[in-house]
Chains A and B, each alone.
Chain A
Amino acid sequence: MPKERPIIVKAFTVTPDTTVGDAIDLLQKHGVRCMPVVDADRKLVGWFSFMQVFKFMLPAAVTMEGGLSHIDFAFDTAPGAAKRLGKLQDRTVAEVMLQDCPRLNADTPTWEMLRLLMQHGSPLPVVDAGSEHFLGIVSDQSVLESLEEVLKDLQAEGQV
């Protein structure tokens, strides 16, 4: 990974004890879909996103392993979903976050990075391999911009 093009970029983070209500406000305020959950020791402990909130707005019968594969037979479910959203407001991020989120290291090779982005979506957190300290995120934009710079260099050298 070329050192001069930062693939790992900064991200807004949230602490595990923040309330879900406040965390959703943060997502909306910063205009992002997700945030890494980082504890006081700067360790990555989870991933918070709208998807995690949606999961709790659905009945357990749908989200559990082996649960209902679709629920289009249920009508008039907006009030039910809204009520669940209301109940979530005071819970903490720790209760709702994705705990075993996929993560990259600083020296994950580019191909593997691309493959993981394809598999899990963008962005993905980067942690230090030994200490699990949060270093930043890799996003589809950051990877693409970095590789575009690499391509420019290669073209300038006549290799492409």
Chain B
Amino acid sequence: MTGMEQQAAHAVAALTTQSIFGFSPMVVGTAVLLGVYGFIIWDRINQTIVALMGATVMLLLGLINHELAMQGVDLNTLFLLIGMMVIVGMMQKTGVFQFVAIVCAKLARGEPAKILALLTLITAVFSAFLDNVTTIMLIVPITLLLAEQLKLSPYPFVFAQIFASNIGGTATLIGDPPNILLGSAVGLSFNDFLMNTGPAVLVILAVFMLVMHLLWGRKMVTSDHAKAHLVKYNPWEALQDKVLLYKSLFVLALVIVGFMAGHSGGLGAGSVALMGAALLLLLDCYPHHSKEQSHRVHEAFGKVEWDTIFFFIGLFIIVAAVEQTGLLNMLAGQLMALTGGDMERTAYYILWGSALPSAFINNIPFVATMIPLIQSMADAFGGPEAIKPLWWALSLGACLGGNGTLVGASANVMAAAYASRAGHSISFMKFMALALPLMLLTIAISHVYMWLAYF
């Protein structure tokens, strides 16, 4: 909207239009936003606390009011996250991740190169449908065990799985939080992601697996004795709860069908996810008496990462406040001026411009800020439908960019923590030395893909 329309709207909403301590709301809002980014990067204070405090500051300074703040909190995103967290939380009790990893080891007959490839592949597939951090939390310990048994360094395996989780997560609506944010804000469906980022992900994953093989896989050697020992492992013993596994897979399948079909039927992804969680809980609980049911439901919801949920809530309010100040409209205007209003160039700018920050800072705040910014460009480019390529550029850039350093994505941080606990610390610089160029390669592939697919 124009400056005057904005002022009028602000006056109606009782938002601050006068200066705050002598500065305009836009300047103050920007300062708070940068402060929030800064604290998140510094990591001196937990990021959920930072996000909630940032939202507090925005509200206290009058940069946003209660009503707009509440509207800014995207319940669809939160419900999608919570619903999937409940489902994954119950699935992880079944031991399915360990089961699949051991099956891979046996299929590979203990051959390290094949195990590397298979584990990379399954990590990518799991990450596409379940959240990346949980996938890493469940696949890394069994991987560390397998590597130890083969008397190999776990580094190549963990490195490959970090990349695989971020690459796989890019392919679907639910695979990575940036996609969830994007899908919800813009109205993109599960199918939209599958059809648009999916093909790019397939190519990138194939290239990545080839690089891993050339770099490490083909040089891995282990004794026949170690291989024979590994092949004796019994994956069925790893499965703790077969019944729950079948129920979970059934519900997961229904949920995915729900995502695919529901979008056109007016059923949001968040609702589908919650319905799936409710159904799985019902299936798990109905044979038991009330006290046991109570315990199970409590335990299931206990597995939800509430700190992540409130991090999102804080962030939603912060970004809504920043939007109100007009900062994002202004930045959008500047980006347009930079690219001369050419959408193809804008897309490439967004692709590369999202990848580099995402490598160094958590991509969620970045994506949350970029969404309204890009949305404000819609009119100039011919409407919401026309700017779809910009969304794919954002998704590919932000999700794949997370591979650049050990702090680029939460999954990376988790994997590094696990490796460290097992006595195999990963150095930040050593990781980045290989990860950054590889990440840039994946972005280059995305660039070519976008050129072929959309322009």
Q: Which A residues lie at the B interface, using CB under 8 A?
A: 59-62, 64-68, 70-76
A39 to chain B, nearest CB (A): 26
Q: Which B residues lie at the A interface, using CB under 8 A?
A: 95, 98, 102, 137, 141-142, 144-145, 148-149, 229, 232-238, 240, 418, 421-423
Task: Report the bound CA distance from A70 to B421 in whole Å.
Answer: 17
Task: Report the bound CA distance from A147 to B145 in whole Å.
Answer: 48
6 contacts between A and B (CB under 8 A): A60-B148, A61-B422, A66-B137, A70-B95, A73-B102, A73-B237
Task: Report the bound CA distance from A104 to B70 in whole Å.
Answer: 52
**A68-B98, A73-B102, A73-B238 in contact; A62/B145 too (CB < 8 A)?**
yes
Q: Is the CB of B421 within 8 A of A74?
A: no
Q: How many A-B residue pairs have CB under 8 A?
A: 54
Task: Report the bound CA distance from A61 to B418 in whole Å.
Answer: 9
Q: Is the CB of A61 within 8 A of B144?
A: yes
Task: Report the bound CA distance from A75 to B106 in whole Å.
Answer: 13
Contact partner, B98, options A60, A64, A66, A73, Cβ 8 Å: A73
Q: Is the CB of B234 within 8 A of A73?
A: yes
**A66-B141, A68-B98, A73-B102 in contact; A61/B237 too (CB < 8 A)?**
no
Identify the closest chain A residue to B154 (Cβ).
A61
Task: Report the bound CA distance from A88 to B92 in whole Å.
Answer: 34
Task: Report the bound CA distance from A69 to B234 in whole Å.
Answer: 16
Task: Report the bound CA distance from A68 to B95 in whole Å.
Answer: 10
Find chain A residues with CB under 8 A from B95 CB.
Answer: 70
| Residue from A61, A68, A70, A71 having most chain B Cβ neighbours under 10 A | A61
Q: Is the CB of A68 within 8 A of B418?
A: no
| Residue from A60, A71, A72 having most chain B Cβ neighbours under 10 A | A60
Q: Is the CB of A65 within 8 A of B232?
A: no
Find chain B residues with CB under 8 A from A73 CB.
Answer: 98, 102, 233-238
**A64-B418, A76-B232 in contact; A70/B144 too (CB < 8 A)?**
no
Contact partner, A68, options B141, B234, B236, Cβ 8 Å: B141
Q: Is the CB of B237 within 8 A of A72?
A: yes
B319 to chain A, nearest CB (A): 32
Q: Is the CB of B142 within 8 A of A68?
A: yes
**A66-B137, A68-B98 in contact; A61/B142 too (CB < 8 A)?**
yes
Find chain A residues with CB under 8 A from B233 CB.
Answer: 73-75
Q: Is the CB of B237 within 8 A of A59?
A: no
B6 to chain A, nearest CB (A): 49
Across chains A and B, which 7 residue pairs bring their CB atoms closest together, nearest first? A64-B421, A61-B145, A73-B237, A60-B422, A61-B144, A73-B238, A72-B237
A80 to chain B, nearest CB (A): 8
Task: Report the bound CA distance from A150 to B233 in whole Å.
Answer: 56
